[in-house]
Copies of this chain bind each other. A is one copy, B any other.
């Protein structure tokens, strides 16, 4: 029985991998408005009903693929102090999220209407900031509130990208970080 379960898990992971790979490949050639579940099914060698059963619909699948890209691939850069770490993080984050690919990922994640993709996406950012916070404490710095950093630094960057349609500049990012660390009521 346990062996069955493991096999099931392996097949399930394999299906996810093939389907994600098919979506990523198709998006190199086709516009996402042209993409359909049968196209993804054919390209991945999985039946359409498997895709519908597992992801619900195309928008949920696109959101799932986008979230997979959001998963950080490495530890955050260490600049020697928490303000420097935070600046390095937010500048890279702003650059990635405001790129054409980043904007499309955000639109896919938010446009799917489900909450699982958005919560996962936010969770990755939160964990990233927790790493910076733990590193600061280890260095003997005061540290910062991760919730506050989400509000003061991350949220405005995302708002700029989503609603104002312009890239948050390096100066803008630095200003947000300064706002987090220089507050009088800390």
Contact = CB atoms under 8 A, between A and B. Distances in A.
A27 B70 CA distance: 32
A30 interface: no
Nearest to A165: B115
Contacts of A106: 110
A173 B74 CA distance: 34
Contacts of A155: 151, 155-156, 158-160
A165 to B, nearest CB: 4
A137 to B, nearest CB: 23
Contact of A183 (B57, B110, B185): B185
A154 B59 CA distance: 27
A39 interface: no
A164 interface: yes
Interface in A143-186: 150-152, 154-156, 158-160, 162-165, 176, 179, 182-185
